[in-house]
Structure formats: C-alpha cells, structure tokens
Structure 1
Amino acid sequence: MSTTRPTPQEVRTTERRAHAANGYFALMGMLGLWVLAAFMAAGAHHLIGAVLSVVLSLLVGAGLYMQQPNEGRVMTLFGRYIGTDREPGLRWANPFAGKQRLSLRSRNLTSPTLKVNDKRGNPIEISAAVVWRVSDTAQALFDVDSYETYVQIQAEAALRHTANLYAYDDGEDLQHGETTLRAGQDEVAAAMKAELQERFAAAGVEVLDAKLTHLAYAPEIAQVMLRRQQAEAIISARQRIVHGAVSMVESALKGLSEREIVVLDDERKAAMVSNLLVVLCSDKDTQPIVNAGTLYN
C-alpha cells in the first residue's frame, strides 16, 4: 500500500508551549550549589563533590534568561523545535537548548510609493501603512526564511493587486455605487487588510491595521486627469445652477399669476423666462437694459 507524503507547502510548524520554569527558583538552587561546593572544598576528602557541585551550578546558570514583556524565546534542542516561552521575567529552561529571542510587539511597515495601474489601466502612485505582529513564533522562524523580508515583499504585492481591482475615481464606465480608490478608502483598506492577512498567514503574522497613506495619479497623466476632474466639477455645478434657476423662474411666474400683478401671454412669459435664466445662470454680472418699447414693436 502506497502512502502520499505531504509536500513542503503542506507542512506547517505550529507554536507550542515550552517546558520552562520560574528562574528565581533556579537562581536559588545555583547559589545553594555554590555554598555546597564551598563547604565541600573545606574538607580534603570532598574535592570531587565540590567540583561536581560547581559544574552542576554552571549548568543551572546556563539555563537562566531574562525575558521582557511581549517577547518570546523560541527553543530548539539539537535542531528540533521544542517550544516557545512567552512568560516575562527571570526564566529557566533546558541549558542545552538554543533560545532565540523574538519580539511579539506591534510593528509598523510603510511601503514605498509604488507606481501601478488601476482598474482602468491608468498609472497611479500609491503607498500604505501596515500594522502587524508575530502571532505564531514557530511559523515565523521555521516556515519562511526571513519573516521580516517576507512581510515587506508580500505587503507590496498585496498593495499592487488591490490597486488593480479598483478605479482611481468615478466615471461613466463604472457601475453605480462601485467602490473607487479615492472615494472608498475604508472599503479598499478592509479589502487590503483581508488580502494581507491571507498572504501573511504562512509566516505566522497577524495584520492589525492597513491604511492608504498616499494616492495620486502618476505625473505623466496628472495634468490631464486634473483638467478632467475640473470639467466634471464645472458640469456638476452648472447642473445644480440650472436646476435652481428653473425652480426660481417657476416660482416667480407662479407668484405673478396668483397675485395677478401682471397678465402675461405665452410670448411675454417666454421672454421673461429667457431673461431670468440669463441672469441666474450667468457666471458674470449682468447689466440691466431698459426697454422703452414693447415686444411687438
């Protein structure tokens, strides 16, 4: 019967608790061995016992280490992972085990400004800040070559991929309510955080936060896109002005009719509407003209 061996990608190292103890008891034991060695050395017939006590005290002292809060000691014994100690203070563990210190604190990663293409293919400049920390010490040290380099490279890859999924700004080619990089930064940040977590999982790293820190069009198209945005803003403003002017003209005609101030036929109403729209929609000051005649002369 044949068995299928797991591929290297399927083998994951999982953190487990190391067999470590309070270091103060070990320190007291080491001092006691020194006292015992001194007592035995006083008698000529106990030199061997004194030497053994000194050697044993040195072994006990070799297992002592001081650990700060939010730190971990990853221990290996003859090339085999035996566990991680996360308890702060003076600690003691197997003196023959290797003890590698690993920070568990939150860290900031600011990606360099990248030049990528958005969903439309327009070149943009983008960068992000990522807050992360090591959640599985065994994966961080044994499943990737250098977890810090791994995090940096994967963060840039995730940022590039996220930028390709969204357009920089709204446009006629987008569906109504579609998320864009400029207007939907919260949604973009949430999507980028989810992708970062998926990529960082292989290194035992947890993503705490991710935000865009820089977003702009690339210099070669910045001026063109700026004129486009200005044109869209002007069109939007004109639409609002025209809508408001029409409402004001309608209100004016209705008021004149209801109060019977003046009776206007269709031709005079058209002339009045034309004059009012010119006054209300013009972006320059209008000059009044006194008409001494009538519309029919």
Structure 2
Amino acid sequence: MSQEKSFVPANGYLMLFVELIILVVGGFAVKTGSVLLGVISAIVFIFLLGGFLVVNPNGSAVMTLFGKYTGTVKNNGFYWVNPFYSRFKISLKARNFDSDRVKVNDKIGNPILISVILVWQVKDTYRAAFDVDDYNAFVNVQCDAAVRKLAGLYPYDNLEDHEAQITLRSGVNEVNHALEAELSERLKIAGINVIEARIGYLAYASEIAGAMLRRQQASAVVAARTKIVEGAVGMVEMALEKLSDDKNVKLSEEQKARMVGNLMVVLCSDKEATPVVSTGNEH
C-alpha cells in the first residue's frame, strides 16, 4: 500500500521573475520584427503560467503526474510546479460534524433517538485522496454506522437491565471512549484522525417517551417512599427504646402497637397529620 510522501516544489517568486523575463523578451521580439521568437515566448509564458500553486496554512496539495502519485505539498506558501501535474487540494483543518438524529434500538430493544458530534481532520492525504471515493461522505456514513452499532451494545438505562453497569445515559465517559475507538478504527482507512467523538443527543423515541417518563417517575416515587419508610422505622425503634428506658412510662403491648401505627402514619404520610386529643378513657 502506498503512503503519503512529501513533494518539494520550486519557488513561485523565482518562476514569477522568469515569467517577467520571458514577457520582456517576447515584447522586444515583436517590437524588432522577430515574430517567431515572439510567438514562442508567448507559448512558453502561457505554459509556465499554469504551474503556479498557492498552499494556504493548514492546507495541502496532492500532486499526480499522468495518474501517478508524486507527493503532497503541506508547507504553506507560493510555489511553482510542472504544469502537467494534477493538483488536488485537501484541507488539514479540524472539522466538526454533527450527525442527524437517527432512530435505533438499544441493547434491550427500546427505540431511541441518538446523534454523534465528531471532531476530525485529515492525517494522511494519500489515503483521503485515493483510498476512498469521497472522504467527506465516508465520514458521514461511517459515523451513522458507528452510532448504530454503539447503541446496540448498551441499554438506555438500567431500569430494565439491572445488571448493566454501563448505560448510554449514565456511562458518558465509557460510551464516548468506545465511540471514539470505533470511529478511529473505521476512519483510519481514509487517513482521518479522530480528535474527539461524543454523543450529542440521546432520548427515547417519541412513541415510548411518555411511557418511559411515567416509569421513571414511578421508580423515583418508589425509591423515595422506600427511603421514607426506612427512616420512619428507625425513628419508631428509637422512640420505643427511649420509652423503655424511662421507668416512669409503662406501655402495654396494645399501646405500643397503637403508638407504632400512629407514628408510622405521621412519618410516612405525604400530608400534615391532624392530632386527636384523647379526653377520657376508652371503653
């Protein structure tokens, strides 16, 4: 497999000076009546004019001669090359790509919407120019393929897959690292260096978004209630222990049970308790 190699062109300012000399010679020939010399000077002038090349900063020019790769000019400046050389300019600047939101299924089959943000740049101009048909389109297609593969490896969250340690929603660092590695491997064939890759958008698809939101809310309510009950039980146990230590207070088992019930209602209720004052003995 061929690789990128450097090409050293001629100084453009020197050739511009040569062009001026040819122009002066041609004008002098016409003036003195030497038509043949003037025509030859004009032909040479026009031919050499097609060899001037400007390479901007963070730019490059891939050179081919009759279909054969001869090298790449990466140093910015004003140059001159053989006019028969074909030149294919490739930018070496870092570029952003924000993919479209695609609908895919996660590991457990839930439809989700996901997109990827990619920062990339051309590293090997030979591969970008000759190993793929269009490296820009290649980046777009491979990003789509990579994000579809990634979504199928992880669940959206662990509400259904409780054993999942990494999910698309919570394992941001791990998922982005896996995405970057996958894209680097895919885009290497085009000579492209992946600077950064991360998930730009992630959500359930519209047809299940409402149901999933209600499920998350229910899970949050259950978790909150569980925490409240655990705390209430602890407080009731502490109250009974304190009362047992106080020798001046004697409670029967029935009174303890009633007190436990009242305390649990007060502590676990989501509304303010209304106290009832007992004014006499119950019969």
* TM-score, with structure 2 as normaliser: 0.89
- The match for 2:140 is 152
Determine whether 1:169 maps to 2:126: no
Determine whether 1:252 maps to 2:239: yes
Task: Quote the Cα distance in structure 2 between the aligned partners of 1:282 and 1:97.
Answer: 84
Task: Quote the Cα distance in structure 1 between the aligned partners of 2:103 and 2:214.
Answer: 21
The CA deviation at 1:251 is: 3.7
The CA deviation at 1:200 is: 0.6
The CA deviation at 1:169 is: 0.7
Q: C-alpha offsets along residues 136-184 of structure 1, whole Å, 9 cap, x if unaligned? A: 11111111111111111111000000000000011353326x1101111
CA contact (8 A) 1:19 1:93 kept: no
Task: Quote the Cα distance in structure 1 between the aligned partners of 2:193 and 2:104.
Answer: 26
Task: Quote the Cα distance in structure 2 between the aligned partners of 1:30 and 1:256.
Answer: 108
Task: Quote the Cα distance in structure 2 between the aligned partners of 1:43 and 1:175.
Answer: 94
1:16 is aligned, of 5, 10, 26, to: 5
Task: Quote the Cα distance in structure 2 between the aligned partners of 1:249 and 1:78.
Answer: 91
Distance 1:94 1:294, change over 3 A: farther
CA contact (8 A) 1:66 1:90 kept: yes
| 3-state secondary structure, aligned to 2:152 | helix
- The match for 1:84 is 72
Matching residue's letter, 1:147: Y
The CA deviation at 1:246 is: 2.6
Task: Quote the Cα distance in structure 2 between the aligned partners of 1:294 and 1:107.
Answer: 83
- CA RMSD between the two structures: 2.4
The CA deviation at 1:121 is: 0.9
1:235 is aligned, of 222, 226, 233, to: 222
The CA deviation at 1:228 is: 1.4
1:33 is aligned, of 8, 14, 22, to: 22
Determine whether 1:219 maps to 2:206: yes
Task: Quote the Cα distance in structure 2 between the aligned partners of 1:57 and 1:287.
Answer: 103
CA contact (8 A) 2:155 2:161 kept: no
Task: Quote the Cα distance in structure 2 between the aligned partners of 1:230 and 1:281.
Answer: 19
- The match for 1:197 is 184
CA contact (8 A) 2:99 2:140 kept: yes
Which 5+ residue runs of structure 1 have no aligned equivalent? 1-11
CA contact (8 A) 2:23 2:41 kept: yes
Matches within 5 A, 1:266-285: 266-285=253-272
Task: Quote the Cα distance in structure 2 between the aligned partners of 1:84 and 1:96.
Answer: 15
1:73 is aligned, of 57, 61, 78, to: 61
The CA deviation at 1:224 is: 1.9
Task: Quote the Cα distance in structure 2 between the aligned partners of 1:245 and 1:22.
Answer: 85
* TM-score, with structure 1 as normaliser: 0.85
Task: Quote the Cα distance in structure 1 between the aligned partners of 2:241 and 2:14.
Answer: 95
Distance 1:273 1:206, change over 3 A: same
Q: Report sequence identity in percent.
A: 46
The CA deviation at 1:261 is: 6.4
Task: Quote the Cα distance in structure 1 between the aligned partners of 2:190 and 2:247.
Answer: 82
The CA deviation at 1:42 is: 5.5
Report the number of matched residues.
283
Q: C-alpha offsets along residues 114-146 of structure 1, whole Å, 9 cap, x if unaligned? A: 111100011111111212121111111111111
- The match for 1:7 is none
1:137 is aligned, of 125, 129, 138, to: 125
Determine whether 1:102 maps to 2:90: yes
| 3-state secondary structure, aligned to 1:165 | coil
The CA deviation at 1:69 is: 1.1
